[in-house]
Chains A and B, each alone.
Chain A
């Protein structure tokens, strides 16, 4: 079974530029999460989707961050414009419906460096 796929794995951009990250969850997983992991810290939830619906986006900085999950499968997280403080690893995770927090599968992440 294929795991959670993320691309790109690494991205270097200059501040004020836009950037997008893509995630393909495990087949059949209805719940999708985006996390941000700052250096030396644990992951922090940005947004959670149940199918196409964003059910928890309370931690998403909406002035510059946006996300979408069209057709309830793949998801894209966008930052526009990027700031130096956005340098982090962005992790995507998925879980089967109703499994909630105790059965999340993580992708390898996208390491973003903003210069």
Chain B
């Protein structure tokens, strides 16, 4: 079984400030981990993913995330928020294999203040 916990439903930061969105997972096998972004009235877009190898992964739009097995976490960060980062962010977990299934967290809404 696998699950994702995204604590809180809303994060607000000032433009230029650090963005930190938290994600903790549960998986009985080595996980694959993902962050997706969803802009209003649009589908989900993959920001970044961890499968194997380097635990710090870089994605699009300046985002990165670090896989920490000991903490079962995969937090998403960006050093400097931009107004265009305002969106909903979903963490998801899966595992190896073509028959794997994505399990999503509830999502976090990021607001960016001018």
Residues of A participating in the B interface, judged by any CB pair closer than 8 Å: 3-4, 9, 40-45, 48, 55-56, 91, 93, 97-102, 104, 106-109, 111
Contact = CB atoms under 8 A, between A and B. Distances in A.
Contact of A100 (B9, B43, B94): B94
A78 to B, nearest CB: 21
Contacts of B100: 100-102
Interface residues of B, number: 27
Contacts, number: 63
A39 B41 CA distance: 12
B105 to A, nearest CB: 5
Interface of B: 4, 9, 32, 34, 36, 41-46, 49, 51, 90, 92, 94-95, 97-102, 104-107
A86 to B, nearest CB: 19
Given A42-B92, A42-B107, A101 B45 contact: no
Nearest to B100: A101
